[in-house]
Amino acid sequence: MRRSPPNGESLRQIVHPARAAPLFREREAITLLALMANDKWEDFRATNRANWDERVAVHLGSRFYDLDGWLRDKPGPSRRDTEALGDVTGLSLLHLQCHFGLDTLAWARAGAQVTGLDFAPAAVTAARDIAQRAGLAQRAEFVCADVYEAVDALGHAEFDIVHVSLGALCWLPSVERWAAQVGALVAPGGRFYLHDGHPLAWALADDRPELIRSYFEEAEPLADDSGYTYTDSGGPMQNKRQYEWNHGVGETVSELVRHGLRLEWLVEHDWTVWPHFPWLVETAEGTWSTPPGRPRLPLSFRLLASRAARDKVPE
């Protein structure tokens, strides 16, 4: 049974993988050849991993994550995420690029058997510790692996739900390689749920709503040497450099479809859950959006996709 978009939002598309399969092979070949010619991906990944390993200690002690409050209050998934996926009791749920697992463990509290995967060893170590402290270790497993190697790292397991949450896609050079992993991890009859920052927002300048970066996936990354993370922190990190890539909504959806998923609904939001830019204002719902009287911009998006169930073998 297909679910309607949460909160009555009406944008819905059903796209069949067989129709989309030939459409993007030329673009994929160009992208992969560029990455192979570049042959810097291993350096990019090692640099980003060092940056994220260092972030873990900063984030664990931040007001942004408020780990002590999280352990005390025992929150479950957000209302909008629960509306998107419904009752998850007894379902297997994989959270890719899970950081130290607070969102992953929220789904365990809601009754799912969860697996979190992240490429930063410090994050995975912290996630396992938090699961123990929260009394959720029996319903949670954390695996240290790159998302591009998730299928092998997880022993080719399949999951009822695969989930990717905010701030994930921008760290990956190829959305095609990512979608190939996602498609192989969703079980027949299972679902994929994505909530991430909108690529238009990633293309904007930090201090003004002006496009200064590519909306689309490019072979060369954006290098950032600011040394600061998105949480409250005392100063710049030692491992300052990080590399990011953007991916258009059409690129992301088309690759998911090409790798066997069917799009159930797609919603673009004029809000995000954190102050991505200094010119955003907080709303009554606790999200962040453009100031009243200014044109609304897409700041985040969500989608739900599914994999067809296997045909029953006649008895």
Please compute the mean of the pLDDT values over residues 3-29 and round it to a whole number.
36
What's the pLDDT band for 40 if we cut at 50, 70, 90?
confident
Percent of the chain past pLDDT 70, that is, above it, reads 86
pLDDT at 33 exceeding the cut of 50: no
Domain ranges of the chain: 6-306
Model-level pTM? 0.86
| pLDDT per position as a tens digit, 175-202 | 999 999 999 999 999 999 999 999 999 9
| Confidence bin at 313 (pLDDT 50/70/90) | low
pLDDT of residue 177: 96
Tell me what the pLDDT averaged over the chain comes to. Answer: 88
pLDDT for 315 equals 59
Residue 68 pLDDT > 80:
yes
Fold of 6-306: Rossmann fold (3.40.50)
Give the per-residue SS3 of the chain. Answer: CCCCCHHHCCCCCCCCHHHHCCCCHHHHHHHHHHHHHHCCHHHHHHHHHHHHHHHHHHHHCCCCCCHHHHHHHCCCCCHHHHHHHCCCCCCEEEEECCCCCHHHHHHHHCCCEEEEEECCHHHHHHHHHHHHHCCCHHHEEEEECCHHHHHHHCCCCCEEEEEECCCCHHHCCCHHHHHHHHHHHEEEEEEEEEEEECHHHHCECCCCCCECCCCCCCCCCEEECCCCCCCCCCCCCCCCCEEECCCCHHHHHHHHHHCCCEEEEEEEECEECCCCCCCCEECCCCCEECCCCCCCCCCEEEEEEECCCCCCCCC
Give residue 312's pLDDT. 60
